[in-house]
Structure 1
Amino acid sequence: MQWGYAPFLYFVAVLGLEAAMQKECRIIEALQNKLTYRQRLQYMKHYFPINYTVNVQFEEVLKAANITRLRDQNVSELSLRYLWLSVNSQVLLKIWAVLLERHPSWEYTQDLCHLFEQLAEEYENYNQGNVDANVQGVVEQVLTGDAGSSQKAVPPKALLDNCVKVMWLLYSESCK
């Protein structure tokens, strides 16, 4: 009798995951629309002083090569997406923190932060216990602002360029 319910429960679970992925893909699409090259150039380069940089932790400079290296170490896609989300949320907060409310980039950065918050709400539904240990360590270090971590001065546009490249790498297959 119980075996008759197993396929039904599996089907419901798959539908639930599919619905969550569709919402996640809608948020990623909104981020892609907000992070176009033209907007990154305007809001993160032209509206900032020449050679302006933001101090971030070394781990907050997340590049596509980092993701490729972690994939080679068999880190799960969920863990990689969680890492990307956590790192870039903190980067955006650091960029936003240096802006005055009347700065032309303030509202743009606020909108990006809001989209990342929506995506974080989606990830709260996932079991964070499934995140790989080495990724969890990096995320904790970024979130706590570990003073022992080395700092790096990076232009805001370069940080968002890395964000877009990694986003494309992580979501291009699942969110077509």
Structure 2
Amino acid sequence: MHQGCAAVLCVLAVLGLEVAALGECELARLLQDKLRYEMRLQYMKHNFPIDYTLRVQHEEVLRTANVTRLRDGKVSEASLRYLWFHACSQAVLHILEVLPEKHPSRGYTQELSQLLDALGVEYSGYRQSDVDAVVADLVKQLHSGDSRQKAVRPKALLDNCLKVLRMLFGAHCRWDSA
């Protein structure tokens, strides 16, 4: 029994290393696959009480309209992807915080968190000066916890993450956004 657990832990460790070694585009592709509609519906809607909402910061709800507005303000694509990463990471962490240890959505949410952590390694080299000022301010607000709160359904948070992911990474990574 213990040998079986050790083997599983070894496989998971190797897979974790493989995920960490992937590039930005491949990690974004894996996230897109993991955020398929059926999975979001199952894990973020059906496994939660009807009309369940989370209190999240206003900046964590990153929509395509927000990205378009920032693009029109001449914010770089790399900065927008950096902002998306922080907004989605915070959203997933908020979802994880409310899930009990044995909740059926916990494993799925942890997998999302691990993929985002691996993507965070890609962005760990960014310095404040590498990111547009408006994005740096938004990221600072995201992590400060001082902004106004709004109630959002867990599925809606992940819906926005996927839509913006496709918008920002589809052309950059040269994969179909469908």
Give the share of equivalent positions with the same residue, in percent. Answer: 56
Q: 1:130, CA displacement in angstroms?
A: 1.4
SS in 1 for 2:119: helix
Q: 1:75, CA displacement in angstroms?
A: 0.2
Match among 158, 164, 168 for residue 170 of structure 1: 168
User: Who is 1:80 aligned against?
Assistant: 80
Unmatched segments (≥5 aa) in structure 2: 1-21
| C-alpha separation in 1, matches of 2:110 and 2:42 | 15
Equivalent pair of 2:57/2:149 in contact (CA under 8 Å)? yes
| C-alpha separation in 2, matches of 1:52 and 1:144 | 25
Aligned partner letter, 1:39: M
Equivalent pair of 2:44/2:155 in contact (CA under 8 Å)? yes
| C-alpha separation in 1, matches of 2:126 and 2:52 | 37
Q: If the length of structure 1 is used for normalisation, what is the TM-score? A: 0.84
Q: After the TM superposition, which of the residue ranges 116-125 and 64-73 deviates more from structure 2?
A: 116-125
The one-character-per-residue Cα deviations of 1:79-103 (angstroms, maximum 9, x if unpaired) are 1011000111011000000000100
SS in 2 for 1:152: strand
Q: 1:44, CA displacement in angstroms?
A: 0.1
Q: 1:23, CA displacement in angstroms?
A: 1.1
SS in 1 for 2:151: strand
User: Who is 1:104 aligned against?
Assistant: 104
SS in 1 for 2:172: coil
Instruction: Give the paired residue count.
Output: 153
Q: 1:126, CA displacement in angstroms?
A: 3.9
User: Who is 1:41 aligned against?
Assistant: 41
| C-alpha separation in 2, matches of 1:59 and 1:125 | 23
Aligned partner letter, 2:29: E
Match among 150, 153, 169 for residue 151 of structure 2: 153
Q: After the TM superposition, which of the residue ranges 98-107 and 124-133 deviates more from structure 2?
A: 124-133
User: Who is 1:6 aligned against?
Assistant: none
Q: 1:127, CA displacement in angstroms?
A: 4.2
Unmatched segments (≥5 aa) in structure 1: 1-21
Equivalent pair of 2:56/2:91 in contact (CA under 8 Å)? yes
SS in 2 for 1:48: coil
| C-alpha separation in 1, matches of 2:77 and 2:128 | 13
| C-alpha separation in 2, matches of 1:42 and 1:91 | 18
RMSD after superposition: 1.0
| C-alpha separation in 2, matches of 1:139 and 1:127 | 12
Equivalent pair of 2:128/2:136 in contact (CA under 8 Å)? no
Q: If the length of structure 2 is used for normalisation, what is the TM-score? A: 0.83
Residues 151 and 127 (structure 1), Cα distance of their counterparts in 2 relative to 1, 3 Å cut: closer
Structure number with larger C-alpha Rg: 1
Aligned partner letter, 1:162: N
| C-alpha separation in 2, matches of 1:59 and 1:142 | 6
SS in 2 for 1:62: coil
The one-character-per-residue Cα deviations of 1:103-126 (angstroms, maximum 9, x if unpaired) are 000010000000000001011134
